């Protein structure tokens, strides 16, 4: 077992810190590997390990998986027992409500095996662990494909290709946006920003890296902290939004959409100020929704862009229906096989493979 790299305080969508330095995206060193589990995703993609393990509070598993061309599973909160051996204050309320652990792997089969092991063990230190039976579908569940207006054209094409693959496998597919995505993303930002200011901001200023504090300042500027009444109102409103999604998932049990509306960001993009952090939040709004709503999600690769960057999509489903999403992801995996493990690129030379095909290995691109 090994410990991989992550941003300090696990609080950026990029992996860098003053102690260990940055993690490089193995496909292109000028692009971010995502965060916070960027070290795990890069290690899995490069063949250093078959499995990674992380927790997903705001895309910390799914964004690195999508950016590095591997698969990941964010479980339902309560599905896997979680306990820390570290001393200190209990996590903030949103951390307890939104966070869930899960594995990263190169194949959906490996994800499934890891999920079986993780979900089968209780821990008395975690009173929130819920022993449940797996959801079994008697027919192919309906799929709602959501495509934001501002999504990268290559990601749009990949999502439509994934929808076609599911349709060929017998899934009823409709293009439809789930309810209240904008409101969910805004509520997530306001609640988390408030808790950061109350509980962690001073510690971040004292021991956090310059990059962390630049990102946090922009995020707080984007989502000013709420007062107590506003915090309580926003947290209470979550019930209404979850109910709306429960009705939606009853009709469309799988939501297929992007992990991010953009291909992997250039390194340093999240340090460009409030406007660029706002762009990142908007691009990740479906990913953030799964956290806010306490839903499981599987990320699966869906090919490679013209620039030689991996494309990842996600399948979100109802609580405790992880196997439903894993089964659907396996059909996408067959349609879009990925050439992992890869030899990490050492220069940003563009590669132009067809979607789902291995990139060329031009001279000087690997080590």
Residues that are catalytic: 36, 60
- Distance CA(265)–CA(293), nearest Å, equals 26
Nearest by Cα to 304 from 255, 343, 360, 250: 360
Rounded-to-integer distance, Cα 137 and Cα 170, Å:
13
**Maximal C-alpha separation, the chain:** 60
Spatial CA neighbour of 15 closest among 48, 46, 59, 50: 59
List for the chain the helix, strand, coil content (%; round to 5).
40, 10, 45
Q: How many residues does the chain have?
A: 367
| Beta pairing, strands 71-74 & 100-105 | antiparallel
Q: Strand 254-258 to strand 310-317: parallel, antiparallel, or no bridges (unpaired)?
A: antiparallel
CA distance 61 to 298: 10
The Cα 318–Cα 11 span in angstroms is 26
């Amino acid at each position: 077992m090994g410990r991989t790299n992550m941003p300090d305080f696990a609080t950026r969508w990029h992996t860098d810190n003053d102690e260990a330095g940055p993690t490089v995206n193995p496909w292109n060193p000028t692009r971010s590997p995502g965060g916070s589990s960027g070290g795990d995703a890069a290690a899995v993609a490069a063949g250093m390990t078959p499995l990674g393990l992380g927790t997903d509070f705001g895309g910390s598993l799914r964004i690195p998986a999508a950016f590095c061309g591997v698969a990941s599973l964010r479980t339902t909160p309560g599905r896997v027992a979680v306990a820390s051996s570290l001393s200190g204050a209990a996590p903030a309320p949103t951390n307890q409500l939104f966070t869930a652990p899960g594995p990263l792997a190169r194949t959906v089969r490996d994800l499934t095996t890891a999920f079986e092991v993780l979900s089968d063990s209780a821990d008395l230190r975690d009173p929130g662990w819920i022993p449940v039976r797996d959801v079994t579908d008697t027919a192919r569940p309906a799929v709602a494909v959501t495509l934001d207006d501002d999504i990268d054209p290559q990601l749009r094409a990949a999502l439509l290709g994934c929808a076609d693959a599911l349709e060929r496998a017998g899934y009823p597919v409709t293009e439809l946006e789930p309810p209240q995505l904008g409101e969910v993303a805004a509520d997530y930002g306001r609640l988390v920003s408030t808790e950061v200011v109350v509980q962690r901001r001073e510690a971040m200023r004292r021991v956090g890296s310059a990059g962390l504090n630049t990102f946090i300042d922009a995020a707080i500027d984007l989502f000013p902290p709420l007062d107590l009444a506003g915090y309580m109102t926003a947290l209470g409103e979550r019930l209404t939004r979850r109910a709306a999604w429960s009705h939606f998932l009853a009709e469309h049990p799988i939501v297929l959409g992007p992990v991010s509306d953009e291909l992997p960001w250039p390194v340093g993009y999240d340090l460009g100020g409030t406007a660029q952090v706002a762009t990142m939040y908007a691009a990740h709004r479906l990913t953030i929704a799964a956290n806010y709503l306490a839903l499981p999600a599987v990320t699966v690769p869906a090919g490679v862009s013209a620039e030689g960057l991996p494309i990842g999509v996600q399948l979100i489903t109802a609580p405790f229906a992880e196997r439903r999403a894993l089964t659907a992801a396996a059909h996408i995996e067959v349609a879009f096989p990925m050439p992992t493990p890869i030899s990490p690129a050492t220069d940003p030379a563009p590669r132009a493979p067809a979607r789902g095909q291995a990139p060329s290995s031009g001279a000087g691109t690997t080590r």
